[in-house]
Amino acid sequence: MEKAVVIVGNLLVDCLRLAEIAREFGWALEKATDLVHLKALSRDYDPVVVLFDSTGLQEPWQRALQTILAAAPGALPIVCHRFSDTISWPDLVQAGAFHSLRLPLDPREVHQSLGFAWSVQCARLRNAPPRAASADSPAPLRVRAVGNVA
């Protein structure tokens, strides 16, 4: 399943530039018109990051964040907000937010945030338990030491 950065709602962003940044990390860029569409999109893609603006979704950020986490449980939600918005970062973190970005989005900040998300994805892969072999996967390679091994 292809990994993707998902924009939810009516975020006014440069999608071409954002898609270019997402591709640097090996991810697609998808757009979900609303939170219901995000859930449907999660069947076809593996959302890695979800960028959203609760104001544009006409939802309080806590409710929007809960819905995003339910629709895309493995995704890292990034709250996008205006400079004039007062947001309590400790409350966002406690509710499950991964990061926040100010609007309008700065491509360098987006790149940095996706880099943080990429790092989390790598750590998850390193710490994941080994997958059980299926009938379709080859048997694990076994190495046997012969002779003196120091």
Q: Which domains does the chain have, with CATH numbers?
A: 3-107 (3.40.50.2300)
**Partners of 82 in the β-ladder:** 103
Amino acid at 122: C
Q: How far is CA 21 from CA 29, 38, 59, 69, in A?
A: 9, 21, 28, 23
Token pair 């859930």: residue: 39
For the segment 113-143, what is each residue's pLDDT rounded down to a tens digit? 999 999 999 999 888 777 654 444 444 434 3
pLDDT digits (tens, 9 = 90+) for 67-84: 999 999 999 999 999 988
pLDDT of residue 131: 63
* pLDDT tens digit sequence for 97-120: 999 999 999 999 999 999 999 999
The reply to whether the predicted model has a pTM over 0.85 is no
